[in-house]
Amino acid sequence: MHELSLAEALTESVEKWQAANGGKVLSVTVDVGRLGGVDPEALEYAFGLIAPYKIRTVLLPLRFRCGRCRREFEMERLPESCPECGAEYFMLRRLNGRELSIREIEVENV
């Protein structure tokens, strides 16, 4: 399972962070891009197998910039055209989609 190796890489990052900062980690929030081929549920499951803390995944919206009206906008899925000016999809530049990064580490207050 591809998510298991991703979970291992993420827990390694958390361990490094913990070694530097101390404290007991309660949960980790991870940003997941919609086009990175990562299944958030599978990632959460894999995390549960190897980590003693919880994981929360945040599926990020896709961000685009329109080449015609220059506006930036967010979508849940690939748009057919610019919602602002109606420019065709090929005029839109995708700005993200493949993220897999730690947004927040929650630590127990001592």
Binding positions for Zn ion, rule: CB under 5 A: 66, 68-69, 82, 84-85, 87
List the strands of the sheet with 62-66, edge to edge: 72-75, 62-66, 92-94
Residue 36: CB minimum distance to Zn ion, A: 25
* 6/48 Cα distance (integer angstroms): 13
Residue 64: CB minimum distance to Zn ion, A: 9
Residue 87: CB minimum distance to Zn ion, A: 4
Output 17 or 73, the one with its CB closest to Zn ion: 73
Please classify residue 46 by burial: count the beta carbons closer than 10 Å to its beta carbon, then call 0-12 exposed, 13-18 middle and 19+ buried: buried
Output 54 or 94, the one with its CB closest to Zn ion: 94
Residue 80: CB minimum distance to Zn ion, A: 12
Going from the C-alpha of 46 to that of each of 29, 100, 102, 110, the distances in angstroms are: 14, 15, 16, 29
